[in-house]
Each structure stands twice: as C-alpha cells, then as structure tokens.
C-alpha cells in the first residue's frame, strides 16, 4: 500500500560613505564553508529514478550551492578582517579581502573608526548580508537562473486539469521557501505563493485575490475566457520532520504534525465557505492539502474526493512511491502513481488526479536531488535562514533555508509571524552576538501614479514599527533593517531605499 496514514566585475571606486555597486554573484567551483558546505558533505553519490530529471537536478543544485556559499562566506571573511583591525594599512587590506571574497567593498566609515575602538562587526555583518542579497536579486532578475522548461506549457496544462489559478500558501518557515521551484518543480511565475506562519493564510486576503482573478477573467479574458469550466485551486502546505518530529516540525503548531495538518485543512474549508457565502451563482473553489517532510523534501498529498472533502488520515506518499518504483521503468512508475492515488481516493475528480500525479512525479526528482547532494536527508534539518523578509514581494526567494518569510502590510497584523522569526534568529544569530538582518520590501506598479512613493512610505513605516517592537535588539545593534522596493511592471531588479547600517544610504545605493 503506497499511501501514508502517519501523522566578478571590479567594484567601482567610491568616496566617503557613497555605497559601492556590488559585483555580480560569483559562481565558484567548490562549495563554501558553513551550512551549504556542511550539507553537501553528507552526499552519498548519484541517486536517480526513471522519472527523475537529472539535468534539472544538476542545474538547480549548482544554483543553490553558489547562492548559499555567497552568504556563508560572510562570517569567515569578517573573521579575517577582524584579525587585521590593528595592523598597518588595515582599511586597504580589509577592502581587498572583501572584494576578493565577497565581491563588494565594506562601508568606509566603519573601517575608518576601527582605530578608536573595536571594529563594529555587527554593522559589518548586516551590511554584508544586505549586499549579498542585492547581488543575488540582480542575478535572479537579469539572468533568470531558475527558468523551467515547463514555463510555456504549464498554464495550458493547469487549465486542462480544470483550474485557472494555482494559489499556494506554505508555512513561512524558510525550509519551505523552495516549495514551488524545487519541491514541486513548477514554474514560479505561474503560481501564486504567499507564506504564513503555520500555513494559516489570511482568508480576507485570499478572498481579495480570488475576486481580482475572477474580475480579470470576465473583463480581460485572463487567464482564460470567462465561460471556461475552470476553478480557482487553493493549496495549503504544512510541514513536519521525519528525523526529529518532536522538535523540528512546525514551530507555529508546537511541532505537532496532526495539529498542523488539521489547522491547514480547517483554514481551507473556511476559505471555501467564505467564497460560497459571499458570492452567488455557484461560486466555489477547489482545495488541496499537501504535507512536506522538510528533512527529505518528500511530499504526501491528501487527495480530495468528488465532493471536495479531504481525509487527514489518508495521503499519497511520494517517498514510498520513490522507493517502490526506483528499480523499474518510467511507465511502471507512472502507473504506480496513478494506482496509489486512486487507492487513496477512488472517486477523485479526473482533473485533480491529473494534477496530483504530476506533482508527485515532479517530487520524485526532488527526492533524488536531496539523496544525491545531501544524503538520506539534509544536514540542516532545523532552521538555518540567513535573513528575515518582511512585506510584499520576494518572488526571487526559491531556495530552502535562505529567508524566513513574514508577509505583511503592517507590523501589528503580523506579530505572530514576526515573533516566530525573531525567536528563530535569536538562536541563529543573537545568541552568537550577530544581528538579525531584516529586509522590508514593498513592490509597486510603476504605471500607477504615486505607486513608488507609497511603497517607499510603506517601507519606512513598517521599518520604524519593527524597530520599535524589537527596541531592545535595535538599541543593542542586534537588529538591522534594509528597505527595498521593485517595479513589478519592469524587468529590473530591486531598488534600495534606506538601510539602518548607514543612515546616509540613499535610493539606488548600498
């Protein structure tokens, strides 16, 4: 029974405090030290499957390795710089090391003050995290490194399954940040993703998005004609840990997997009821619940029946299917997936079955990815995020354990998400004397008059509220905030607005 019932361009010269434009993201041949290096140290050789896309796995791993190595070089580099702070020509030596190891220069004012007292390593650390994020974003928006060969055909496939929109709400935990592009192998631009602590998405926000989609269908024929028999599909992804289920599951649910799954399903049902009660003429949506083992990246899918009901006690287990079909051919594996799905939910709707089969097949590549590059499971089964992202945007974050999400419009409405994030970073950074780096971001539509100015004001307001809420950390230099925006109507990268590391940072700099 294959189902689960378990619960380098040279930086330009600069004068004074004028921030330097970071060099492009380097692509070193080897893995850097830190979490990325430790994780890959447990690799056990190539693991594949008849349905595995090995070429995608190699390309995706190279990208993950290089991005995380760039962040993991920060601490070793700053240790080198710290050891030299009382040496002759310290400032010149520090800038040379930073350019060679990180690809950008350090703030000159911080280095210049080192002879008076100890070098301000907290400000330097935050600056380096923010500058590395800038380079990462530039690379993502300029080079499209995560482009999928399924980009063009996925929308048509989704509509053939009976859905016009795929809206996914994973937990804000950074171990799920790669859910769309890696775990499910979907083209990120074709999927709406919005993360919340415990995957407890905002029902009112989802109603607003549903309304926008339906209006676009009727007024503009997007994503298909208004009379097409397709529906809005809302997906919740909860998570759990197979290696340490009592401690490394979802923090928002006390690492209680059953509670996390039940809470996700309850939120899905509430959303559907809200749509049906608010709109007449048979308005409704389809629902799907997915569990993710953050240690192995294997999914288990709770498949809805013909009436849309979901049974928490039954799910199709991708890991069991991988192991059961690992020695067979592609056709046999495909048939096994279909059989397991229908054994789980005999009266599943054909379109839903077709989509779930594809998600499971895609996930088999990710299971092979983890086993090839990390062993039976990731080494960093717990949190290892590099920074917190707060606000709206961040579509470029498609990597596991890179950023903790806190989608919000105001700090007051997202205190639970922020408090969980600060608690995580209190262990990751503050306990070691390092600050919590927070990137506050609100994207805007340049074609809308005043949109950019409002985004800038929104960033400033949220940054001030965040620093006030965590005033103790702020006063001790243990919380730093970078404010950014991006024009969604253009192909460019992010624009930097302000940074607490250097109060004189102006838009476009850093």
Active site residues: 173
Q: What angle do CA 405, 409, 410 make, to 5 degrees?
A: 100
Among 33, 105, 24, residue whose Cα is nearest residue 72: 33
Q: What angle do CA 158, 159, 165 make, to 5 degrees?
A: 70
Determine the 3-state secondary structure of 10 from DSSP: coil
Determine the 3-state secondary structure of 301 from DSSP: strand
Residues 6+ apart with CB under 8 A from 413: none
Sign of the alpha-carbon dihedral angle for 91, 97, 99, 104: negative
Element (H, E) at 406: strand 403-407
Pairing outcome for strands 436-442 and 387-392: parallel
CB count in 10 Å sphere of residue 299: 27
CB count in 10 Å sphere of residue 479: 26
- Helix, strand, coil percentages, rounded to 5, for the chain: 45, 15, 40
- Written as six digits, the tokens of 217 are 């269908």
Among 168, 245, 357, residue whose Cα is nearest residue 6: 245
The residues pairing with 390 across neighbouring beta strands, listed in sequence order, are: 406, 440
């Amino acid at each position: 029974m294959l189902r689960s019932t378990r619960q380098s361009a040279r930086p330009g010269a600069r004068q004074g405090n004028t921030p330097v434009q970071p060099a492009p993201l380097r692509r070193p041949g080897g893995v850097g030290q830190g979490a990325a290096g430790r994780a890959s140290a447990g690799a056990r050789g190539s693991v594949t499957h008849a349905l595995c896309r090995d070429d995608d796995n190699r390309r995706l791993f190279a990208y993950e390795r290089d991005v995380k190595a760039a962040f993991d070089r920060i601490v070793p580099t700053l240790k080198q710089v710290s050891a030299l702070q009382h040496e002759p020509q310290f400032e010149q030596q520090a800038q040379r090391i930073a350019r060679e190891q990180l690809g950008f220069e350090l703030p000159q004012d911080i280095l210049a003050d080192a002879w008076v007292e100890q070098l301000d390593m907290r400000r330097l650390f935050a600056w380096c995290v923010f500058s590395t994020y800038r380079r990462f974003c530039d690379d993502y928006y300029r080079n499209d490194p995560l482009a999928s060969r399924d980009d063009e055909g996925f929308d048509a496939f989704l509509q053939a399954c009976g859905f016009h929109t795929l809206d996914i709400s994973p937990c804000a935990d950074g171990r799920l940040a790669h859910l769309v592009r890696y775990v499910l192998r979907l083209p990120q631009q074709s999927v709406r993703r919005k993360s919340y602590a415990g995957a407890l998405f905002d029902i009112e926000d989802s109603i607003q998005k549903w309304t926008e989609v339906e209006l676009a269908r009727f007024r503009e024929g997007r994503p298909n004609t208004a009379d097409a028999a397709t529906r809005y599909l809302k997906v919740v992804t909860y998570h759990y840990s197979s290696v340490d289920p009592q401690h490394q599951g979802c923090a928002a649910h006390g690492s209680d997997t059953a509670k996390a799954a039940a809470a996700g399903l309850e939120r899905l049902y509430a959303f559907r009821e809200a749509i049906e009660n608010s709109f007449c003429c048979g308005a409704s949506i389809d629902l799907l619940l997915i569990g993710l083992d953050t240690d192995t990246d294997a999914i288990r899918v709770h498949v809805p029946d013909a009436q849309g009901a979901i049974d928490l006690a039954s799910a199709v287990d991708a890991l069991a299917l991988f192991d059961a079909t690992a020695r067979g051919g592609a056709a046999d594996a495909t048939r096994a997936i279909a059989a397991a799905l229908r054994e789980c939910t005999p009266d599943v709707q054909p379109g839903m079955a077709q989509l779930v089969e594809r998600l499971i097949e895609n996930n088999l590549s990710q299971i092979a990815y983890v086993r090839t590059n990390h062993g039976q499971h990731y080494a960093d089964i717990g949190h290892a995020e590099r920074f917190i992202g707060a606000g709206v945007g961040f579509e470029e974050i498609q990597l596991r354990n890179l950023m903790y999400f806190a989608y919000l419009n105001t700090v007051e409405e997202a205190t639970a998400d922020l408090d969980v994030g600060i608690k995580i970073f209190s262990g990751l950074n503050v306990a070691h004397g390092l600050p919590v780096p927070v990137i506050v971001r609100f994207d805007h539509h340049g074609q809308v008059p005043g949109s950019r100015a409002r985004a800038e004001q929104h960033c400033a307001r949220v940054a001030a509220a965040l620093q006030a809420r965590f005033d103790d950390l702020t006063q001790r230099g243990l919380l730093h905030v970078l404010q950014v925006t991006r024009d969604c109507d253009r192909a460019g990268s992010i624009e930097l607005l302000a940074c607490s590391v250097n109060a004189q940072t102006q838009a476009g700099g850093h």
